[in-house]
Structure formats: structure tokens, C-alpha cells
Amino acid sequence: MRYLCLLVGEPGIAAPEPGSAEFLRMLDDYGTATTAMAESGVLVDSAPLDLPSNARSLRMRDGRPVVTDGPFIEIKEVVGGYYVLDCTDMDEALRWAATIPAARYGVIEVRPVMVIAGQD
């Protein structure tokens, strides 16, 4: 079963400053976690996301696209990246998610990817 792990920053919990020793350790920790997932065969995909200021939201209204800047009008939490894991169950997915440094500075939402009959 596949699981999507959304890496979400929480307001009020500061992540390490870019360029600091703690930040560089965090990057190493991401590399270690990602490599371990890849070597175990559970990693399907993973990537950081660009800043919310570079996002656009699309809504279809009356058959026409309406595009606005950013993901939300008033955003408090920011999705910073994702992992897609192929695990035997939720417990295994949660064990792997616990190795992702984002858990120390925010929250990781782990959600099963819906399986739709007839689609691969």
C-alpha cells in the first residue's frame, strides 16, 4: 500500500536557520532517512516544494478557471515537501515517517493513497 507523507511546518516552531550548523545537520539527516528508505525499497518518490509565494491555486467556477496567488488567503501552516512510501501497513509507514527530520519542526501527515479499482 502506498502512503503520502506531507511535511508540514507548524507556526511557532522554528526550523534551523539556513546555513547554520544545525541546518546542515538537518540536511544530512534528510539524506540519511531518504537513503535508508530507498535502500529498503519503500521509497517511491520524495521532493521539497518551492515557497508558497510561488504557488497558484486553481478553482473552476461557472466553467471558467479562477487562479489566485498562493495556496490560501491566510496560511498558517506550510506544506514543505512530501514522500511517497510503499509500505505493508500504516505502522510501517509511521515508523519510516518518524525518521524524516520534518517531524522535529512540524508535523508529518501520513495518509494512505486511495486505490481505485481498475487503475494502476
All three cell numbers of 23, joined, read 541546518
Cβ atoms of residues 3 and 114 within 8 Å: no
- Domain containing residue 106: 2-112
In angstroms, rounded to a whole number, what is the distance separating the alpha carbons of residues 5 and 42? 12
Q: So what's the pLDDT on residue 53?
A: 82
pTM: 0.85
- CATH code of the domain covering residue 18: 3.30.70.1060
In angstroms, rounded to a whole number, what is the distance separating the alpha carbons of residues 6 and 106? 10
In a domain, 59, yes or no: yes
In a domain, 120, yes or no: no
Q: How many alpha carbons fall within 13 Å on the CB side of residue 97? A: 28
Q: What confidence tens digit (pLDDT) does each residue in 60-113 have?
A: 999 999 998 876 655 677 889 999 999 999 999 999 999 999 999 889 999 999
Q: Which of 28-32, 69-73, 108-112, 115-119 has the lowest mean pLDDT?
A: 69-73
Counting the structural domains of the chain, the total is 1
Nearest CA to 2 among 81, 83, 79, 100? 83
In angstroms, rounded to a whole number, what is the distance separating the alpha carbons of residues 94 and 71? 26
Cβ atoms of residues 19 and 118 within 8 Å: no
In a domain, 117, yes or no: no
